[in-house]
Amino acid sequence: MRLSIIAIGRLKDGPERELYQRYAKRIDEAGRGVALGPLALTEFPEARQSSAKQRQADEAQRLIGAADGADLMVALDERGKTFGSEAFARWLGAQRDEGRRTIAFLIGGADGHGEAVSAQASLKMSLGPMTLPHGLARIVLAEQLYRAATILAGHPYHRA
C-alpha cells in the first residue's frame, strides 16, 4: 500500500528535511516486507489570499487535487482521533488488508484545513493535543509510519 504525505508549506533544506528523508527511506526498506510504501511527499506553498477562509479554500483544493486517486484521505487535525503507536499500526494494517492501495495524509496550512478537506477526508487524525509546526508534524508522521511498519513486521524497533 502506497503512502503519501501531502502538505502545505515546504521543508527547508537542512536538519528537518534530512530527518524526514531518513524516515522515508526507512519506511521504504522496512515496509516492503509488510506491503507498506513507498512514502511520497508532495509540498505546496502557503496560499497568499487576504482572508483565512480564502487561504483554507485554496489550500484545500490543492491538497485534494494532489490526493486524487487515493483510496483513503486522512486529514491531520488537532481535534481528530488519536492513536497509540500499536493501534495506529493495527489500523494501517487493516487498511492494507482491506485492499486499499493508497493512503494520503493531508497536512493543512497555518489556518487549518478548509471545509472541502474536512468533508472528503475519511478520517481526521491527531498527532496529539499540542500544536506542532507543520515541518515537525511531517517528521512525526513519517516516524510513526515507519514505527507502524516495524510493528507489523515484528521488528524490535518498537519496544512498548
Q: What is the pTM of this model?
A: 0.95
CA 80 to chain centre: 13
**Residue whose cell numbers read 481528530:** 80
Mean pLDDT of the chain: 95
Query: What is the pLDDT, as a whole number, of residue 158?
Result: 82
Query: What is the pLDDT, as a whole number, of residue 157?
Result: 87
What does the pLDDT look like over 100-133, one tens digit per residue? 999 999 999 999 999 999 999 999 999 998 888 8
The domain made up of 2-153 has a fold known as: Alpha/beta knot (3.40.1280)
